[in-house]
Amino acid sequence: MSQNGGLLIAKTNSDLLFNDEEKRKKLNYFVHPAVEWAMFRNIVEYWVRREKYCMIEGGSRSSAEIQFERLMLCDNSSID
């Protein structure tokens, strides 16, 4: 399948899901608990490793570098 074909399918799926409230609710019914469980597992893993920080950013598919930049802008911090 070509990249364009994949983009077309993704666009069609997003149109179907996000323009139909009932379909979106059904999707969220399954997706949200799985995401919440994954986040909880990550927090526990950080806690077990005694990490000083655990950053969770919802709804973002950006790189760790971009996430850290956003965090530093948010709280006026730096890596130093």
18: CB partners within 8 A, 6+ apart: 24
Check: CB of residue 67 under 8 Å from CB of residue 55.
Answer: yes
pLDDT of res. 26:
86
Angle at 49 (CA atoms; ends 45, 54), nearest 5 degrees: 60
pLDDT digits (tens), the chain, 80 positions = 445 555 556 666 777 777 888 888 888 898 889 988 998 998 999 999 998 888 776 665 567 777 677 777 777 777 66
pLDDT of res. 49:
94
pLDDT of res. 40:
92
Q: What's the whole-model pTM score?
A: 0.49
- In the DSSP assignment, the letter for residue 76 is T
Of 34, 33, 74, residue with least CA distance to 57: 74
Check: CB of residue 16 under 8 Å from CB of residue 29.
Answer: no
